[in-house]
Structure 1
């Protein structure tokens, strides 16, 4: 008798649940709406300078010396950009002057896009480098050359600060 009561209660519950669900799906006409998820992505670029260009210790009679440094530019996909190099003397052709720590002399150098090739300055369309971003870091290399004729200057350690500019 107890089993019969339990089975009857369970059957009644199942029938009630099934009937309720069926009634809801037939009686309720659900209302719907939609919405968008939006974002605006702006074009952008970042530049990360590489290591300093160290040209070592030079002596009269040595040959011209060239060194290089790789740096990265990361721009959003399909973003065109132009890279300019500006020595501290603001020369537009990439011809810089290194100052000594105590000497009044200046050591001249030139920046290039490849070894002994096109100067790298900041005259757009003349001596800058153009590229297009792909969303990843793109590596570029700048070269600096000091001619042997500069080795006559007063012995000292010479340096200059070059600014990399990326226009996009």
Structure 2
């Protein structure tokens, strides 16, 4: 490469650098001829809305069901501020299960038709069954914009002990608002 070629390449490189944008923004110029202003609105519409999440309810391990087994879990309800709501719990997904007589079913192969009774209550005294009919057996509240914890009280009643297995049911919590 001769000196003329190098000078030509150096000039091309320098020209490229001259048109490459700066790494930081350039400050705006200052003007003194006058000003003009405009206002614009900033809006957000909050609508009534709720969400619910649930923790599992585990009754543990038992050999025989000669006395009731009581456990509790929680639901987390988040609703827009001042939004009234009701929370219902369905019968669970086991065939034959109803709100008044909930059932868990065995999970082992060949034992899925064996059931075990349990109940869900609104109170720790196990007197008010928690169902899914608004205004009748649901739990109500009013949202405050933050998560609210609601207790669910479960009980496996004294009953004939079924075959050894893990019994389960999938109960759906629904928040109405």
The alpha-carbon distance between structure 1 residues 156 and 48, as it changes in their structure 2 partners (threshold 3 A), is same
**Aligned counterpart in structure 2 of residue 118 of structure 1, from 121, 128, 142:** 128
- Pick the structure with greater CA Rg: 1
5+ residue gaps, structure 2, are 1-31
- Kindly indicate which of the two structures has a greater share of residues assigned to strand: 1
Query: Which protein is richer in helix relative to its size?
Result: 1
TM-score (norm 1): 0.74
Contact 2:65 2:160 in 1 (8 A): no
Please tell me whether residue 132 in structure 1 is matched to residue 142 in structure 2. yes
Gaps of 5+ in 1: 1-20
CA deviations 1:46-93 (Å, max 9, x no partner) are 11211x211122233631111111121111100111100012148563
Number of residue pairs the alignment of both structures matches: 140
**Where does residue 98 of structure 1 map in the other structure?**
104
CA-based RMSD: 2.1
In structure 2, C-alpha distance between the alignment counterparts of 1:154 and 1:106, rounded to whole Å: 9
TM-score (norm 2): 0.70
